Structure 1
């Protein structure tokens, strides 16, 4: 009888946990961080990283034949954690400031991902200013190399300068391999030109912000 009550309690706790939290999301985030920290090599801040995923039955939309649009942005959480850890970007931000948040994101869907299809997400920094770091993510199917979707995300750093963070990481570099005498990737510290699509996107964000700041869009408490 006691064993039955214990089993019922354990099952109840599991059901409650899955009801209150998206358990598999946190488990996958843990394993992504673990692999990035202990199993993958460190990379330079301007290098490109990649993670793999699969469109499971819990990712599909109501029509049941392709991945839900919202899941693409969710998948970017894992890609960013992998990038942050392997480049030491997050640790450097924490050492100079308080953290980093997602400021904005835009995504363009080119061709849907079918259920149970494998995809790769590549991540790289394409631009930065004093307050933000801009990253480009591509969803690619390895079978044909086709870019299924492309996203641009603006990461806002808190209480520090993005330029200062990038400068430290670029100056530090990473060891390429033990056989290289210098042992450090040498990349000139030059901020890249802002990509045209990012420039237009920022203009759109500024227009949106200006519209929301207009008096008629400001709500007053009752």
Structure 2
């Protein structure tokens, strides 16, 4: 324990005899001496990159003092897991323009197709984030959801269900790919795809790097 003894004998010979004048300045008490020692130890520890005792939840003001002194304490710099809940429910109105130069559309019968008509009503899609990296795609004009069956067939669904969930990923070329969250074929992902004639391909016949699976979400004009 650190103790403090005032060197009064050396500084004031008249005090060594035990008699002190009325004007004697106030000397530190034991409590203030301990506080001074603690402060010195604290400064020495933080100067060496250490942390005051206690850690997170140790009580007192030690974390605040450590931060003020610039200490590199792991418990004061602890980072919490990021939350992306703000992405859920995000809605975008887009037209999905494929690298094969077709707009994805869903007609009122539930048929999925591609069209070259830029402002075709059935090609305007509502893309809603249902979880991180997962979206639901719905035709604004028909109200049908884009869905994929177990066999990889694309169709329009009246009701939202697990077949309507797609993993959205931005590829290196800037285009997006959409893979079924629910279904796979032989362990491989199945993708939304339009061939060179604008017809939907079975999900298991498409690959991530195929231009037919690449879509550019375009703002409606």
Give the TM bin, normalised by the shorter chain: under 0.3
TM-score, reference length from structure 1: 0.23
Which structure dedicates a bigger proportion of its chain to strand?
Answer: 2
TM-score, reference length from structure 2: 0.23
Which structure dedicates a bigger proportion of its chain to helix?
Answer: 1
Instruction: Tell me: higher relative CO, structure 1 or 2? Use CA pairs within 8 A at least 6 residues apart.
Output: 1
